Amino acid sequence: MNLKELTHSEVRMCEGHRLCAGCAEPIIARQVLMATDKPVIVANATGCFEVSTTIYPFSSWNVPWIHTAFENAPATMSGVEAAYKSLKRQGKLDQEIKFVAFGGDGATYDIGFQSLSGAIERGHDFMYVCFNNEAYMNTGIQRSGATQMGAATTTCPAGSCIPGKREFPKDLTKIVIAHDLPYAAQASPHNWKDLISKAKKGFDTPGPAFLNVISPCPRGWRHDGSKTIAISKLAVETCIWPLYEFENGKWSLTGESLRIAEGTREKRPVLDWLNSQGRFKHLTKGKFTSVADDIQKNIDAKWEQLQKLCKM
């Protein structure tokens, strides 16, 4: 993969959006859209990304783009893909087109999961990309099914009674893989080569594909916007967010996660992750420090399970 060639690829998402400084979402979207040279149609669930890239009368999109509700971006893209196949069968269209839907963790883990599950089960040929910023950032930083235990949000604020969110996040990537789809993966914007490679596989794989991408939010995570990529990398190095893929039934670690499993790269403690963000500051001292220990134990157990699945 040649970085110089990628910089000369077609600009499909332009500058001028209103996303916060340091937001990972436009970085991820641009990397995903670089992964194919075919025409692309985009569907976008309601959320920060949708609102901030299409403030009327302006748009940052240089491709056909469809806004749908929180809950039905996969259903919308299913209809577009089905219409495309019908037109091809009728001989009215011979162009090869790719389809991708973007949604935040609220629209993916929670509100839109039924729609996503149905589209994957029906075998629609499209890729779904989740921006996992671990909360409902667009509507006020409320907890979601993706929010890490101990994180302070507006609906589970850390205080004298509770240490922020009291539950571990659901493992959506594994839930999606349980559908036995052709391709699914976790990625991070700091490792552009890994992310673009996975997006290319998602575009090229016949049938449904799913990418779950960690997407730091300076506003909700309480970190400086200049640290977004460093925090993305830290998520991988602590095994909070391991890089792996599921391709035609085979699990494989990739990037730094593979090197950690091989012993050529150090696995950093979860405390490094917690110290990097204000939403966890109450876990590093005082009465709730045991929650940090619980998070470490949970991450260690999940990392061991993942290595077994990847036969490491």
Q: pLDDT value at position 94?
A: 93
Tokens representing 233 are: 């990398």
Contact 202, 128 (CB under 8 A): no
- C-alpha 21/C-alpha 90 separation (Å) is 47
- Eight-state DSSP code of residue 106: I
pTM of the predicted model as reported, rounded to 2 decimal places: 0.96
At 76-118, the pLDDT tens digits run 999 999 999 999 999 999 999 999 999 999 999 999 999 999 9
Query: What is the mean pLDDT of the segment spanning 227-250?
Result: 98
Domains parsed from the chain with CATH numbers? 3-309 (3.40.50.970)
Task: Determine the pLDDT at residue 5.
Answer: 74
Instruction: Find out whether 50 and 44 touch, Cβ atoms under 8 Å.
Output: yes
* pLDDT surpasses 80 at 206: yes
CB proximity list for 13: less than 8 A, separation 6 or greater: 26, 29, 30, 33, 53, 60, 61, 62
What are the tens digits of pLDDT across the range 139-173? 999 999 999 999 999 999 999 999 999 999 999 99
pLDDT at residue 220 greater than cutoff 70? yes
Judged against a pLDDT cut of 90, whether residue 307 lies above it is answered with yes
Tokens of 182: 């052709």
The pLDDT score that the predictor gives to residue 101 is: 98
Q: Give the model's confidence band at 278: pLDDT under 50 very low, under 70 low, under 90 confident, else very high.
A: very high
Per-residue pLDDT at 8 exceeds 90: no
Q: How confident is the model at residue 285 (pLDDT cuts 50, 70, 90)?
A: confident
Q: Residue 3: pLDDT above 80?
A: no
Residues 238 and 274: their CA atoms lie apart, in Å, by 10
Burial of 96 (0-12, 13-18, 19+ CB in 10 A): exposed
Q: Are 221 and 232 in contact (CB under 8 A)?
A: no
pLDDT beyond 70 at 1: no
Residue 286 has pLDDT above 90, yes or no: no
- Residue 211's pLDDT is 98
> What stretch of H or E contains 202?
helix 192-204
